[in-house]
Structure formats: structure tokens, C-alpha cells
Structure 1
Amino acid sequence: MAEHNEKGKRAEELAKDWLTGKGYVFREANYRYSHSEIDLIFEYKDLLVFVEVKFRSGVGFGFAEEFVDYTKRKLIIKAADHYIHENDWHKDIRFDIVGVYQDKNGNVNFRQFEDAFY
């Protein structure tokens, strides 16, 4: 597996643990539909939360939310629509972005953008 893929998977695991610690209930990881993928899916306070995780080893090239473009958002929404139908979900939903930032000393920080798009 390429190094950037390994970092991405590690960032997803870290984000999953971090959100679980905040009271989010984990449902699924890497949900795929057609050419779309949702990194993490949680339940939180009667919401179904679809989470896109982005790893950054600094902010020199921008913040995590800047790397979820229009095309990526549309793919995530397409997969979410399928998941909602497949699981017969009738409550509210939300799309979040979680940035996982690692500094040069290996320290990890998180930045969550709730209701980032739709």
C-alpha cells in the first residue's frame, strides 16, 4: 500500500476513536457505492453523520476542508443517499469533515467542521 494510503487509513482510525470519545456511535467505515466512498458513518444525537477524513502534515498547503471539492462532495452525497435508502433512515443527517493534523514532532490534533456541506 502506498504511504499516502497508509496515512489516510491511520487518520481514519484516529478520527474514529476521537469521535467515539466525543459520544458518536460508530456505524460503518469505508462505505462504498458505485464510484463513491464515505470514510466514516456515525450516529450522534438522532443524526446520521457522514464524515470525510482528511490528513494533513501541516497547513502550508491549506486546511482539510479545502480539499473536499465540489466533485468529491457530490460523490459523498450520492453514496449517502444510497446508504439512507438501504438502511431505511428517516431522521436528520449531517455531513462533516474531520481534519487530522500531525506536526513534525508526531503530535496529532483534530479539527471538525460540522455541517460542512450539502
Structure 2
Amino acid sequence: MNRDRGNGDHPRVKRPDARRLLGRRSEEAARRYLEQKGYAVVATNVAVRWGEIDLVVEKDGWLVFVEVRAKTGERFGSGAESVDARKVARIRRVAAWFLQRTGRTEARVRFDVLSLRWEGPHRVRVRHIENAF
């Protein structure tokens, strides 16, 4: 197995499986964070042919579509900075589909980004950006 020390925080495995594992761990950490903040989880991993939304949560009358971005370091910017115009368009399109499909077309909606930075195998910093786009 090819390992390097990355930014010195912890060893990283250089395989696609490692990215998938990081994504799953990050989405779970994001879900726990939001639940601790009083959000109710409506749906997770809403996936259709043209895109995916990581989390759909609800709080104070708002239906919130959440994009979770994770990094193990700041070498290439924050996770939030990696949400480009193309990703925003996909998320909005999936959100419109979700609203139609669930009969919530009149809901007040918001799009948030949770940027997670792993500082070790069990330590994560969460930056919650409300109304990110």
C-alpha cells in the first residue's frame, strides 16, 4: 500500500477507496453536527442521473440542501472553495427535482455548504456556510 505523511497530520492512503471513505466519514460527521445544531434530517445522498445532494435537512421552517466538502489539509484551498458554478447548477437542479418529487415546491429553501477539515483520524473542524449560493 502506498502511503505518505501528507501534511503530517496522519497517514493518507492514495487510492480512490480512501476518497470514498473520507466522503462517507465526512457526511456522517456533517449529519451529526447538524443534528446537534437542531436540524432534522429529511434525506441523505439524494442521487439522480444528473447529480447528487449530500444532505437535506430542516430547521425553523427552512428546507436546507447541504453540500458537504471535506479536506485533510488546506493545500489546495478549503472544501467550500471547491464548489464551483457547475456543481452549484447540478445541486440546484437536483433540489428542484426533490421539491417536485416530494410535493414541497412551496417550501422556503436554502443552500448551505459544510466544509470539513480533518485534523487527524478523529478530529474534524466544521465550517458551516449558510446561504452559500
1:49 aligns with 2:87: no
Amino acid in the other structure paired with 2:86: T
Which stretch of structure 1 is more off in the superposition, 100-109 or 3-12? 100-109
Amino acid in the other structure paired with 1:17: R
Aligned twin of 2:7: none
Going from structure 1 to structure 2, the CA distance change for 1:80 and 1:105 (only over 3 Å counts) comes to: closer
TM value normalised by structure 1 = 0.93
Amino acid in the other structure paired with 2:118: Q
Separation (CA, whole Å) in 2 of partners of 1:45 and 1:111: 20
Aligned twin of 2:5: none
Separation (CA, whole Å) in 1 of partners of 2:107 and 2:51: 22
CA RMSD of aligned residues (A): 1.3
Aligned twin of 1:110: 126
Query: 1:14-29 to 2 correspondence within 5 Å?
Result: 14-29=29-44
Using the TM superposition, give the Cα deviation of residue 8 of structure 1 relative to its aligned residue in structure 2, in angstroms.
0.5
- Pick the structure with greater CA Rg: 2
Separation (CA, whole Å) in 1 of partners of 2:36 and 2:82: 25
Aligned twin of 2:114: 98
Separation (CA, whole Å) in 1 of partners of 2:75 and 2:89: 26
CA deviation vs aligned residue, 1:17-68 (integer Å, no higher than 9, x gap): 0000100000111101222100000011101100000111121210121101
Separation (CA, whole Å) in 2 of partners of 1:63 and 1:39: 18
Higher relative contact order (Cα pairs below 8 Å, separated by 6+ residues): 1
Amino acid in the other structure paired with 2:124: V
Using the TM superposition, give the Cα deviation of residue 91 of structure 1 relative to its aligned residue in structure 2, in angstroms.
2.1
Amino acid in the other structure paired with 2:57: F
% identity of equivalent residues: 32
